[in-house]
Structure 1
């Protein structure tokens, strides 16, 4: 009798645990990134966020719950992804991504291209790049990747000549010729647009320029062309790269609907790169 009672209690307890633990498929949960029922995507404020709002809308139509976590800097979205606070991020160029991965020892991986934000040169004092005076103060981003990109843009605009082996991580020390004695001032990328009035001109990333109210194709005095090598990307933790939901997110982002949205909303200031 006692033995029978013990066996009966064991069966009851097992049934309760099974009901509480449940079959993940029956409770609406899945393994991996969607263990909590939603995909958390890190993005920077501005155009990236606008595009992801469209992706989120498309996801809802397919039953994918996407939550956006908006950042105002270029470092934390990768740190948050590495630490598992978010599942995916979409905000950065490949050179910057590679640099962050190497410097911080992150195990992140690129899974797709997104859009290109042509970097532009802006000014509140002149309307033509040729009107820059000798000794003009010119701002550029202080982080190595965007600094090198800005210097390449200055060279393309005819302001300077860089050393032949300068590369994408060039600094102002790699300037070989500066015939007009321009003063180059390195500033935080997110602050340059706000400090433009104190400068004669500055190279500003498109997302920060647009956040400040500029229309890049109209307000810049010089801008990268469509051949810019600085396409942005979607990144995930290496362990997550093969998950089905990652491919679903990529398909949503690289859809005809998102491409049409980018073309209509940004009028060439942001370019679909897939």
Structure 2
């Protein structure tokens, strides 16, 4: 068995309009087993309940949504919340999605007319048991929000600038993907969003002995900071898995990176 490390750095790199961008570094360390250990691990894994597997898949899906959002949106962009009034309320999710498609067609038609590219967005539909449907939309900030709000004519419309904390827009993404008593789906604009970067693999940073030691005596904030110079610790957890018996460690760091090319929204020029 050896300890595998995966590290990825996430930040918005295209369509940047800010002097600095929040970069999030995510590092995870976990055991990789040999063939004999894999066989034992597989037997243990088979005991894992379907609910546990479902929870794991859901967690990964939500984390992917956050990473993709952080790669494409920042404080110069918007979050747009829309609701349906009683007279316009769709009876099915499919009808709500059709209305959303027509909304984006109208917006993109207007954008073309004034010389803007297609909208970049990530949209989540919330469909509760009460029958109320909401759209929560992350969208680029190229259009003025007062103009954007006028395109929604089915109920209330509220566009706000995105706000970040030390975790970026994680809290907002968590809210958008909260678990309702109904269905939850999301959709993204095609061909104009950046994918989260692939992780860098490092199999030599920690040994099995070091991981076991850290599980009982966790490293300090200062020690973790020395592993990743220039970053500030945001989150840390380490645990021994009861099912597999291995030690798992997750670290999240942050820093602000100066942007070399800044796009000015009003004139579309690039500053170097």
Higher helix share: 1
TM score, norm. by length of structure 2? 0.23
Higher strand share: 2
Higher relative contact order (CA 8 A, sep 6+): 2
